[in-house]
Amino acid sequence: MAEKIVQTAGRNQLGEFAPMFAHLNDDVLFGEVWNEETIDVKIKCIITVVSLMASGITDSSLTYHLQNAKAHGVSREEIAAIITHATMYVGWPKGWAVFRLAKEVWNEEIPELTK
């Protein structure tokens, strides 16, 4: 069995304000769904990145999930191919936005925009 994924962000950030949401985030989403073994964690990371990309989510949650993907073995080459493939289905601007975040996560320098 792989290392168990444990998440406390829900309780840490919303525990008193929204305890049910915190429970669903920490115990159900991460405690049960992320730890279910039919799909390995690397594939779940890829699915999550593409899902957030398709939804146009390019905030800290996507950065977190890109970091999680990297930590679970998604290489720079793989993430570049994944984002390129998904861009063809979800839209060019979304691809650009995700590439900028992915380059930061994989510690690639982002050049200045040309004038």
Name the more confident of 77 and 5: 77
Give 9's pLDDT tier (boundaries 50, 70, 90).
confident
Distances (CA, A) of 105 to 36, 38, 86: 26, 27, 18
Domain 40-108, classified CATH 1.20.1050.10, yes or no: no
Give the pair of three-digit tokens for residue 90.
């979800």
In this prediction, residues 81-99 reach a mean pLDDT of 98
Quote the pTM value: 0.85
Residue 115 pLDDT: 47
| Domain regions of the chain by residue span | 1-38, 40-108
pLDDT digits (tens, 9 = 90+) for 17-56: 999 999 999 999 999 999 999 999 999 999 999 999 999 9
CA angle 67, 106, 2 (to 5 degrees): 40
